[in-house]
Structures are given as C-alpha cells and as structure tokens.
Structure 1
Amino acid sequence: MSVNAIKSVELPLSEALLAEARDLKLDVAGAAEDGIMRAVKAEKERLWRLENAEAIQAANDYVEKYGLPLAKFRLF
C-alpha cells in the first residue's frame, strides 16, 4: 500500500467528543490521523530507545569516565 493511500475505517468515539469536535468545526478525520501519526512516532522512538539502551549507556559511561572525545576543541 502506498504511503499516501487512503483507507476508510470505523473508530469508536465518544458521542459527546464527536459532537464537540463538530461544533468546533474540527476536521475529525485529520485530527484522528494526526493523533495516530504522533502515537506511531512516539512508539517507534520508545522502541528505538529500548533496542539501543545498551549502546546509549556504553556511550554515556565512556563520556563519564573519559570526558567528551573532542572537548579540547570546544569553543563554548
């Protein structure tokens, strides 16, 4: 499926929330898509941090023990 392909789906939503969104003239489908995109991005970031936790910790340990590798060249 193409990244830009559109698929209609049914989502259970609170009637009150949907009514309020419509009263405010919000693009409900766009808001749902935006929310899902944000959730997907956040989950990918969380998984990346978990998968790379050991390497991140090793890098942090190195800097703690030896300092930044090029610190002597920093101008700030």
Structure 2
Amino acid sequence: MSQSAQKAANLSLDSNLVSEARELKINVSRAAEEGITKAIKAERERLWRLENAEAIRLENEYIEKHGLPLAKYRQF
C-alpha cells in the first residue's frame, strides 16, 4: 500500500463480514484497500496476458522447435 492521499468511498459490505472483522480487530478500510489492490494487480496481469498472448504463443512455438536460446550454457 502506498502512502498516497486517501479518498473517502462508500462501500456496501456484508454485515456479517464487517461484524466479524471488527470482533477480530481487523481494520476494514485497510483490508478493503488491500483486497482492491490485489484485484487491480490480478486484472492488470490478466489483461497483459491477453494483450501478449500471440507473442507468448510464438515464443513457445520457437522454443519447441529450436530449444531454449543459450541452453548449452545452462548449469542446471
């Protein structure tokens, strides 16, 4: 989480989740922010894979056909 400016947001959350989080002394705002951060990261990764699917396919095809570049120098 970055130390950027905070912005108030209205969220609708399951009341049982909020109650349990409070009982466990979980900071609901921080937990929501961490969850949103993870969701953004996952969506960006998914979009990157979609945008680069053709290049990834071609690279895998090349490796299947020719092997890994510089493979003879690998020590494992």
TM-score by length of 1: 0.94
Shift in Å, 1:5: 1.4
Partner of 2:37: 37
Q: Per-residue CA shift, 1:13-38, capped at 9, x if unaligned?
A: 11111111000000100000000000
Structure 1 runs (4+) deviating above 4 angstroms are: none
SS in 2 for 1:17: helix
Partner of 2:47: 47
Percent of pairs with identical residues:
59
Q: Which has the higher contact order (CA 8 A, sep 6+)?
A: 2
Partner of 1:74: 74
Shift in Å, 1:75: 1.2
Q: Equivalent residues in 2 for 1:1-76 (5 A)?
A: 4-76=4-76
Shift in Å, 1:10: 0.7
Q: Per-residue CA shift, 1:45-75, capped at 9, x if unaligned?
A: 0000000000000000000000011011111
